[in-house]
Structure 1
């Protein structure tokens, strides 16, 4: 397994996401919704950087465990942690945040889950790492770090609050 990104690169990716969001929202109200797990930590970091720059979006966390299309194939019992969305989604501008975008299936599940909370006016996608290889027609609006990988590589993201350190490692498919 090779370590390819450390704390400084990940901090730069979060800062890049925050800057892109700040520029594109241009003072308009929006909400960040982090996808459990790890997308919520990335969203919290992006929110902190935005707050430091005077931008204060609404914030929520979305648990998609029961919406996954591979639910029955998960090797472990999913840990249901619940969603925390304390504001109405009707007519809102939402930015979904996740750590890694790969096939697009997690985002599809997140969109399904959001529909149970209301009908937002607009939903955009921000990802810390875009590794390509989509199976669904889903593309990010904001990308912190584009990462070239092979289709069958495994990308492991570790985050400080969840895993004790910030790093990204790739295990080659071979």
Structure 2
């Protein structure tokens, strides 16, 4: 039996709110570089991109980032580009320890971006690394034994549950 934290309808509302927060906090920015961390972060990034395009005139660029979440030694982007003075938004489904978001910063550290922001659907409050998402759909206090899973069907996030 799955203990759902978010159902499809709630996820849609959270994504709408997250997109509006991004727009509000970046009104002075002509373009946002959305970087979805594979796999579910990419689906979230696509949804956020659509909502930004629907609700603002801010241009968006979507990239995907690959890394092994258990041993994040190599971090690769779907394509290279100049990130100088750009606003980058790293997007993932769940923060557990903060390790994934921390290592996902690697490709951008020497690029001199204007800002780097982080967005997650579910934030767990017991991170081991100094990462706190700028935008979060829901924040939960969980035990280390708890696992949070985000369900995706194609390009749609259908829910999140605690196991």
* TM-score of the aligned structures, taking structure 2 as reference length: 0.85
| 8 Å Cα contact 2:44/2:157 also seen in 1 | no
Give the structure 2 partner of residue 49 of structure 1.
51
Give, in angstroms, the shift of residue 53 of structure 1: 1.0
1:106 to 100, 105, 109: 100
Structure-2 separation of matches of 1:146 and 1:86: 32
In the TM superposition, structure 1's runs of 4+ consecutive aligned residues that sit over 3 Å from their partners are 113-116
Contiguous gaps of at least 5 residues in structure 2: none
Q: Give the structure with the larger helix fraction.
A: 1
Give, in angstroms, the shift of residue 166 of structure 1: 0.8
1:62 to 53, 57, 65: 65
After superposition, the CA RMSD in angstroms is 2.3
| 8 Å Cα contact 2:96/2:123 also seen in 1 | yes
Does the C-alpha gap of structure 1 residues 106 and 24 become closer, same or farther in structure 2, counting only changes over 3 Å?
same
* TM-score of the aligned structures, taking structure 1 as reference length: 0.81
Structure-2 separation of matches of 1:165 and 1:104: 22
Give, in angstroms, the shift of residue 165 of structure 1: 6.2
Alpha-carbon deviations, 1:26-58, whole Å to 9, x = none?
A: 141321111111111101100100100133222
Aligned residues: 159
Q: Give the structure with the larger strand fraction.
A: 2
Contiguous gaps of at least 5 residues in structure 1: 73-79
